[in-house]
Amino acid sequence: MIKKMTLIIFALMLLFQASAFAAQNKTAEVEINKVKVRVNNVQVASNNLLYNNTTYLTIRAVAEMLKLPVNFYKETKTVYIGKVPEGEVPEKVLSTWSMTAPAKSNVELEKPRKAKISFVLNEVSIKVNGKKISSDNIIYKGSTYAPMRAVAQMLGYDVKVHVPTSTVYIGEVPANLSFDNPKPASNNSSKMYDVAATGSMKGWRLLKGHEYEGKLEIYYKLNGTIVSTQVKDIQKVDLKKKVSWVDDSGKKRQNTVGEIYKMFGTFSEYTSEWFYEKFGDLYADWLLSSTADVSSLVDRYLEETGQLDAPGSNITLGPDSVFE
């Protein structure tokens, strides 16, 4: 009996430890509202976070834009967006849940900036129409943030990034807008390859032969069907170099690259379109590490080399489907 009790206590201790370490309290540098998100060319009025080359939106914004209900089951710490798998939540709990999309809320948008913030990583699980999101999720200032691309692609929607204006488009895009994102190619058509990473990135694979070679180092890990990516900006920039430009009043100005980069980072009174109009490639290169569609590039390479199957759509859209 004593042995049995000891084993039970030990098992409970292990269970408690596993639960305690499931979530992580982190402090890290993120970029708040650096990118804009548009769904069917309509601006999403919600804060977003750029962390580890992934854009996160609040689950409320995700539910609003996809017109899906969102509910939380505290017993399993699971957020459900859309359908709830049968048997996962008791009927008496389901009967109290809303099965309609949340009403649009007035959100106070934070100033675009880089910031070191404290947040909780992976305290909850998120399921979209019954399928669990394998990527990280973030709780910041009481709101839960989900990886925007993962949610959209799980529902079968295209995601494109317009680098010049640092805008992410989900679904419909303007007809006259061109995108520089790499397009999927047939098997073995690209010259990409990978090598084992070294130093602080040991254990990762370094992608070579891609279009950003010499500007970005792209690392990836493949665990089953889960792909993780990291990006390092290796562009050689002379921060003391002088750049001449003309302000809105027609006055000629001259600043160092370092001063202009500082201006890019504040976003105090100018839009990304204004920066791109005034500084062109200088601004595009500054944005590159956060706007390059690295996830699609790595997925393309893995699909071409047979390491990953191409994803299929998880929903069927009919002629009466509406997505705003």
Residue 310, pLDDT score: 59
Average pLDDT rounded to a whole number, residues 16-20: 38
**CA distance linking residue 243 with residue 226, whole number of Å:** 43
Map residue 103 onto helix, strand or coil: coil
Give 95-122 pLDDT, tens digit per residue.
Answer: 999 888 888 777 888 888 889 999 999 9
Residue 187, pLDDT score: 45
Residue 277, pLDDT score: 83
Residue 19, pLDDT score: 38
Which positions ≥6 away from 171 have C-beta within 8 Å?
39, 40, 157, 158, 323
Give 30-85 pLDDT, tens digit per residue.
Answer: 999 888 888 888 888 889 998 887 889 898 887 887 788 999 999 999 999 999 99
- Token digits of residue 69: 């209900």
Tell me the CA distances in angstroms from 303 to 113, 299, 307, 324, one per residue in order. 35, 6, 6, 31
Average pLDDT rounded to a whole number, residues 185-204: 77
**CA distance linking residue 147 with residue 61, whole number of Å:** 12
Which positions ≥6 away from 313 have C-beta within 8 Å?
156
Residue 95, pLDDT score: 92
Average pLDDT rounded to a whole number, residues 136-159: 86
Residue 268, pLDDT score: 54
Residue 90, pLDDT score: 94
Give 255-290 pLDDT, tens digit per residue.
Answer: 998 888 888 877 556 777 788 888 888 888 888 877
Confidence at 180, pLDDT banded by 50, 70, 90: low
User: Nearest 5°: CA angle at 302, between 296 and 40?
Assistant: 20
Q: Is pLDDT above 80 for 27?
A: yes
Residue 77, pLDDT score: 93
Please answer whether residues 288 and 215 qualify as being in contact, where contact means their C-beta atoms are separated by less than 8 angstroms.
Answer: yes
Tell me the one-letter amino acid at 104: K
Residue 190, pLDDT score: 63
Neighbours of 266 (CB within 10 A): 12
Average pLDDT rounded to a whole number, residues 142-154: 86
Count Cα atoms within 13 angstroms, Cβ side, for 254.
3
Average pLDDT rounded to a whole number, residues 151-175: 82
Residue 169, pLDDT score: 87
Residue matched to tokens 């529902």? 155
- Token digits of residue 121: 């990583």
Tell me the CA distances in angstroms from 316 to 49, 156, 160, 319, one per residue in order. 30, 8, 20, 10
**CA distance linking residue 8 with residue 3, whole number of Å:** 9
Among candidate residues 19, 23, 146, 138, the one with its CA nearest the CA of residue 80 = 146
pTM: 0.52
**CA distance linking residue 166 with residue 283, whole number of Å:** 10
Residue 267, pLDDT score: 56
State the DSSP string of 243-287: EEEE-TTS-EEEEEHHHHHHHHHH-SS--HHHHHHHHTHHHHHHH
Q: What's the gap between Cα 117 and its chain centre? A: 17
